[in-house]
Amino acid sequence: MASLTEIEAMIALYTNAEREVLEGKSVSFGGRTLTMESLGEIRAGRKEWERKKFRSQPGGNSPAQATFE
């Protein structure tokens, strides 16, 4: 499992790639060149790493609970 530092670094890479693609730039990432057509793939990767970060934190694996009064 990746450390929190590694997870946050990956989120930053995906966020930067997303920003650059939205600005009309192409981005080389993992040996591939990504363009506007790759935006969905970039966002999916970022969301995957954000989920990993959530799951790595205390309580991240437990289901959400609502309290009704």
d(CA 62, CA 24): 40
Task: Give the three-state DSSP class for 59.
Answer: coil
Give residues with Cβ within 8 angstroms of 8, minimum separation 6: 53
Mean per-residue pLDDT pooled into runs of 10, the chain (69 residues): 90 91 84 84 92 85 63
Nearest to 2 by CA among 56, 38, 44: 56
pLDDT confidence of residue 52? 92
Do 29 and 45 form a contact (C-beta atoms < 8 A)? Answer: no
pLDDT confidence of residue 67? 64
What does the block give as tokens for 47? 């969301």
Do 20 and 35 form a contact (C-beta atoms < 8 A)? Answer: no
